[in-house]
Amino acid sequence: MKQIHHLVHGVTREGTSGRTSPVFDPATGTQTGELHLATVDEVDSAVASASAAFQEWKTSSLALRTKLMYNARQLVLDNVDEIARRLTAEHGKVLSDAAGEVARGIENIEFACGVAELLKGSISSNASTGIDVKTVRQPLGVVAGITPFNFPAMVPLWMIPNAIACGNTFVLKPSEKDPSAPMFLAELFQEAGFPPGVLNVVNGDKVAVDRLLTHPDVKAVSFVGSTPIAKYVQETATAHGKRVQALAGAKNHMVVLPDADINMTADAAVSAGFGSAGERCMAISVVAAVGDVADPLVEAIRVRTEKLTIGPGDQADSEMGPLITAEHRDRVASYIDQGEADGAAVVIDGRKNEFDGDGYFLGVTLLDNVTTEMSVYCDEIFGPVLCVVRCETYQEAIDLISDNVWGNGTAIFTRDGGAARQFEEDADAGMVGINVPIPVPVGYHSFGGWKDSLFGDTHMYGPEGIRFFTKAKAITSRWPNPADSSVDLGFPTNQ
């Protein structure tokens, strides 16, 4: 069985805790790996490696950092298939989806290749006579990243390229459920030529996370995961004097106006609702159907949903893979039980699908006539369950979004430009799509939600990522009058 350890100071460091966590292939239910969970001492040694590396890395030239980032980009590009294979083997998502995840991660490496431009700073000459003021941005030191199971390659790449391009050194704590892809990415960064200690990986659980949140040498924590843990991470790390960005859970609404293109909208709802088995923080989990669009829309979604092929992620015809664990699959199924008991109409029932073998599969479920007090509406299910809430008016749909505790992403489907523009203004969420169901911003814009979808101030990656991983320094300088210079500059002297 594959043993998964840590990567510290550029080499594999074997775990010594004796505590392990199983890694499964969700498509078969078989254990494929054993993850060694870090001790406090092992985390300390990763932070010490990063601290030592910071002393030189912070002064490395922008030219070197850019060159190494280009190397990393090429290596990741050359290995997309292998990274995708690892993602599918431990997460379960279909291979095309896994390759798409890597592509979205590469965008962030490409953004960081422009670090020389991004760190240019600003200068005001002659702010006062003979006085110049400039602002530069400097790295923070050792920064930590703690990442979730659902994007094991992309989310670390939301953080690592910008953090190290800015001159910081990094300690990554990936999800214990699917660690092979992030470990491989870290190896590729070593191969790209980043010096030992610039990027370390500690695998672990709460013990490792808690040490990172409280370690005096960790200056910032970048977290992505569920809302309760995000809140805990933010509270704990800020109490220990760290800068924190903690991206959290979601319940994303897709508003459909009566004039929407039904085919386009139904295609979008199916891919955004059930892609990656609904285990995406930007998945659409609620369709807010306004007015008389509801009946034809539910029918169009039903027809498409019934044609979805569910199977192992490495099979060419699979459009949706299994869920991450057996417990999670059962939890999702229990939400469907509860939704039905609460009076939702089960248009398609994923519980009825039968699958061969012991994989963590569940069919897709479409629930209609969902209301806001039902648990299927209130909770983040994080599975292939799409809820339709029928609204009489646009304003009712807007109120749904505003009243929801989360505000990650939302989208509107309409042919009306004026309505779409109004929605941009009204939507109470950090990322908005207009006829785009999953509006994940490209790498040169930043990603982040509002309300309980983000704890901290700055969004992740893009320009806000650069701000998060650097601190500003303003320098005011005055030089003697050139006329008084000891070097003859050709000025008349003051004498």
Query: Nearer Cβ to ligand NAD, position 155 or 157?
Result: 155
Query: Nearer Cβ to ligand NAD, position 2 or 206?
Result: 206
Q: How far is the CB of 443 from ligand NAD (least distance, A)?
A: 14
Nearest to 380 by CA among 311, 332, 429, 330: 332
For the stretch 54-60, contacts whose Cβ atoms lie closer than 8 Å and that sit 24 or more positions apart, written own/partner, are 54/139, 54/141, 54/142, 54/168, 54/169, 54/197, 56/195, 57/164, 57/167, 57/168, 57/169, 57/195, 57/197, 57/198, 58/138, 58/139, 58/141, 58/167, 58/168, 59/167, 60/167
Q: Is 150 in the site for ligand NAD (CB under 6 A)?
A: yes
**Which region, judged by CB under 6 A, interacts with ligand NAD, from 101-109, 168-176, 312-320, 478-486?**
168-176
Q: Is 149 in the site for ligand NAD (CB under 6 A)?
A: yes
**Active-site residue, from 281, 378, 387, 391:** 281
What single letter denotes the amino acid at residue 119?
L
CA gap 463, 117 in Å, rounded: 11
Under DSSP, is residue 31 helix (H, G, I), strand (E, B) or coil?
Answer: strand
**Which region, judged by CB under 6 A, interacts with ligand NAD, from 60-68, 141-149, 186-194, 388-396?**
141-149
Q: Is 225 in the site for ligand NAD (CB under 6 A)?
A: yes
Sign (positive or negative) of CA dihedral 336, 337, 340, 342: negative
Nearest to 254 by CA among 245, 264, 240: 264
Name which of residues 469 to 488 contact ligand NAD (CB under 6 A): none
Contact partners, residue 228, CB within 8 Å, separation at least 6? none
Query: Nearer Cβ to ligand NAD, position 249 or 311?
Result: 249
Query: Nearer Cβ to ligand NAD, position 138 or 226?
Result: 226
CA gap 9, 49 in Å, rounded: 6
Task: Indicate the helix (H) or strand (E) that contains 423.
Answer: helix 417-426
Nearest to 449 by CA among 305, 183, 253, 209: 253
Q: Is 33 in the site for ligand NAD (CB under 6 A)?
A: no
Choose which of 35, 38, 53, 248 interacts with ligand NAD (CB under 6 A): 248
Is 281 among the residues known to form the active site? yes
Whose CB is nearest to ligand NAD?
225
Query: Nearer Cβ to ligand NAD, position 281 or 374?
Result: 281
Under DSSP, is residue 89 helix (H, G, I), strand (E, B) or coil?
Answer: helix
Q: How far is the CB of 236 from ligand NAD (least distance, A)?
A: 9
Q: How far is the CB of 233 from ligand NAD (least distance, A)?
A: 7
Q: Which two tokens stand for residue 8?
A: 């510290």
Q: How far is the CB of 348 from ligand NAD (least distance, A)?
A: 23
Q: Is 146 in the site for ligand NAD (CB under 6 A)?
A: yes
Q: How many residues bind ligand NAD (CB under 6 A)?
A: 27
Q: How far is the CB of 200 from ligand NAD (least distance, A)?
A: 15
Query: Nearer Cβ to ligand NAD, position 146 or 323?
Result: 146
Q: How far is the CB of 325 from ligand NAD (least distance, A)?
A: 10
Q: Is 209 in the site for ligand NAD (CB under 6 A)?
A: yes
CA gap 327, 130 in Å, rounded: 68
**Which region, judged by CB under 6 A, interacts with ligand NAD, from 38-46, 49-57, 172-180, 182-190?**
172-180
Residue span 377-396 as binding mask against ligand NAD, x where in contact by CB under 6 A, dash where not: ---x-x--------------
For 480, other C-beta atoms within 10 Å of its C-beta total 9
Q: How far is the CB of 319 from ligand NAD (least distance, A)?
A: 21
Residue span 294-333 as binding mask against ligand NAD, x where in contact by CB under 6 A, dash where not: ----------------------------------------
Name which of residues 226 to 245 contact ligand NAD (CB under 6 A): 226, 229
CA gap 118, 471 in Å, rounded: 13
Q: How far is the CB of 339 from ligand NAD (least distance, A)?
A: 19
What single letter denotes the amino acid at residue 473?
K
Q: Phi first, then psi: what are they for 369, rounded to 5°?
A: 55, 40
Q: How far is the CB of 121 from ligand NAD (least distance, A)?
A: 29
- The DSSP 8-state label assigned to residue 310 in this structure reads B
Query: Nearer Cβ to ligand NAD, position 249 or 275?
Result: 249
CA gap 253, 407 in Å, rounded: 9
CA gap 230, 76 in Å, rounded: 29
CA gap 170, 143 in Å, rounded: 5
Q: Is 27 in the site for ligand NAD (CB under 6 A)?
A: no
Q: Is 431 in the site for ligand NAD (CB under 6 A)?
A: no
For 424-479, the DSSP string reads: HHH--SSEEEES-SS-PPPTTS-B--EETTEEES--BSHHHHHHHTEEEEEEEEE-
Query: Nearer Cβ to ligand NAD, position 7 or 348?
Result: 7
Residue ranges that bind ligand NAD, judged by CB under 6 A:
146-151, 155, 173, 175-176, 205-206, 209, 224-226, 229, 247-250, 281, 380, 382, 408, 449, 453
Q: Which residues are catalytic?
A: 281
